[in-house]
């Protein structure tokens, strides 16, 4: 899964990208022509340590989230809509992570001359909406032309699409992003190809200064109250980037000394995951403990297909056990003895935390 990082210049996007991916991209380098930074964050999952104790794997492969840090145009991409490559990066992302500048620093001038998180969030919201509206207008124009020449058999689907686009456009013009328009599954499916930006889940990272750490949850609450549809995390980007360069133990000691509890970055990565309705299941094959990411509601054969298409085609059955049952038993033999290891067929829906062995034939 892919998350695109957006926000105004000098809000700390590259800093937070580096913190998330333990990367070394140059901060404060600003140019819209700069190639985007692309990196990967490992999803920390406390269940892995327990499973490692049980299976003693040679290797553990956690789930990953990719982050893309794109330098947008200075004035935003609202006026003409996001064009070309930038729009391409945004539309292909599964979710957007908006970095909002809360920190004050005279050495880093804010492009608007003052720090005002609420203003900046509203401005970005507007830009995303304008970009979507431009796409809707172009498509509606095209549909009108197509309808004139349409065969009777094509008319119905064109009309259906036209009605839906007109409906969501009217709502968007009333400042209601698609993600909160309460569209049906079928409607969302019809729109999927457009990859509308205001339809994407949004994670807001409030980039606070070191002196604001004690107000972190209060700030989160303020923004959540205005934007209940956003997932909001406040963190200090600069500090998190420095901590990300340290070893785990050193970073933990530092966190404790600073009064930082669960690493805010882990919360961001967790939220990137949960915002999309994704769940994890585990496999242990050839001494490798591996986490797989699937949407909630995925059937056993489809989950097997995530590993290899042959396994979906040749699916016979799955042996599954929940993480908590296995953790309680301490090992598979004990779980088997207690009848907690179940055999499931094609229609079985894989649940979060399942440890799964697929049986297939090719």
Q: How far apart are CA 34 and CA 87, in angstroms?
A: 15
103 binds ligand GDP (CB under 6 A): yes
Q: Residues near 271 by Cβ (< 8 Å), separated by ≥ 6?
A: 203, 231, 233
283 binds Mg ion (CB under 5 A): no
Among residues 107 and 185, whose Cβ is nearest to ligand GDP?
107
Q: How far apart are CA 97 and CA 313, in angstroms?
A: 36
14 binds Mg ion (CB under 5 A): yes
270 binds ligand GDP (CB under 6 A): no
Among 3, 4, 6, 15, binds ligand GDP (CB under 6 A): 15
x-or-dash string of contact with ligand GDP, 180-209, rule CB under 6 A: ---------------------------x-x
Structure tokens at 208: 């606070």
57 binds, among Mg ion, ligand GDP, none (CB under 5 to 8 A by kind): none
Is 10 in contact with 106 (CB distance < 8 Å)?
no
Sheet arrangement for strand 315-321: 59-61, 288-295, 278-285, 355-360, 315-321, 342-344
103 binds, among ligand GDP, Mg ion, none (CB under 5 to 8 A by kind): ligand GDP
Which position's Cβ is nearest Mg ion?
Answer: 14
9 binds ligand GDP (CB under 6 A): yes
Is 47 in contact with 323 (CB distance < 8 Å)?
yes
Q: How far apart are CA 315 and CA 360, in angstroms?
A: 4
236 binds, among ligand GDP, Mg ion, none (CB under 5 to 8 A by kind): ligand GDP
The stretch near ligand GDP (CB under 6 A) out of 13-21, 86-94, 135-143, 248-256 is 13-21
Residue 18 beta carbon to ligand GDP: minimum distance, rounded to whole angstroms: 8
Among residues 67 and 358, whose Cβ is nearest to ligand GDP?
67
Residue 67 beta carbon to ligand GDP: minimum distance, rounded to whole angstroms: 12
Is 205 in contact with 270 (CB distance < 8 Å)?
no
The stretch near ligand GDP (CB under 6 A) out of 101-109, 161-169, 172-180, 225-233 is 101-109
21 binds Mg ion (CB under 5 A): no
- Chain centroid to Cα 136, Å, comes to 24
Per CB under 6 A, which of residues 218..237 are in contact with ligand GDP?
236-237
265 binds ligand GDP (CB under 6 A): no
Among 169, 200, 227, 238, binds ligand GDP (CB under 6 A): 238
Q: Catalog residues that contact Mg ion under the rule CB under 5 A.
A: 13-14
Site residues (CB under 6 A) for ligand GDP? 7, 9-15, 27-28, 30, 103, 105, 108, 207, 209, 236-238
């Amino acid at each position: 899964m892919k998350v695109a990082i957006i926000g105004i210049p000098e809000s700390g996007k590259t800093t937070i990208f580096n913190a998330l991916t333990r990367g070394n991209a140059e901060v404060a380098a600003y140019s819209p022509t700069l190639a985007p930074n692309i990196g990967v964050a490992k999803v920390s999952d406390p269940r892995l340590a327990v499973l490692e104790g049980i299976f003693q794997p040679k290797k553990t492969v956690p789930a990953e989230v990719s982050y893309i840090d794109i330098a947008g145009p200075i004035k935003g991409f609202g006026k003409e809509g996001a064009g070309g490559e930038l729009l391409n990066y945004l539309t292909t992302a599964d979710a957007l992570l908006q970095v909002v500048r809360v920190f004050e620093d005279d050495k880093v001038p804010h492009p608007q001359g003052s720090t005002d998180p609420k203003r900046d969030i509203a401005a970005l919201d507007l830009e995303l909406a304008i970009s979507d509206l431009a796409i809707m207008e172009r498509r509606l124009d095209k549909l009108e032309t197509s309808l004139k020449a349409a065969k009777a058999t094509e008319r119905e689907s064109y009309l259906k699409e036209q009605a839906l686009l007109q409906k969501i456009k009217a709502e968007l013009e009333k400042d209601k992003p698609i993600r909160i328009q309460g569209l049906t599954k079928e409607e969302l499916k019809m729109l999927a190809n457009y990859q509308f930006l205001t339809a994407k889940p949004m994670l807001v990272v409030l980039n606070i200064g070191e002196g604001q750490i004690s107000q972190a949850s209060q700030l989160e609450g303020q923004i959540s109250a205005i934007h209940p549809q956003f997932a909001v995390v406040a963190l200090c980007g600069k500090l998190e980037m420095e901590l990300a360069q340290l070893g785990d133990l050193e970073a933990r000691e530092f966190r404790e000394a600073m009064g930082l509890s669960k690493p805010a970055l882990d919360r961001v990565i967790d939220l990137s995951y949960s915002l999309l309705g994704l769940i994890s299941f585990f496999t242990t094959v050839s001494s490798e403990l591996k986490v797989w990411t699937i949407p909630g509601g995925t059937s056993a054969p489809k989950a097997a297909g995530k590993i290899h298409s042959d396994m979906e085609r040749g699916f016979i059955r799955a042996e599954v056990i929940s993480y908590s049952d296995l953790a309680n038993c301490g090992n598979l033999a004990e779980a088997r003895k207690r009848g907690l290891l179940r055999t499931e067929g094609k229609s079985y829906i894989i649940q979060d935390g399942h440890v799964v062995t697929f049986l297939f034939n090719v």
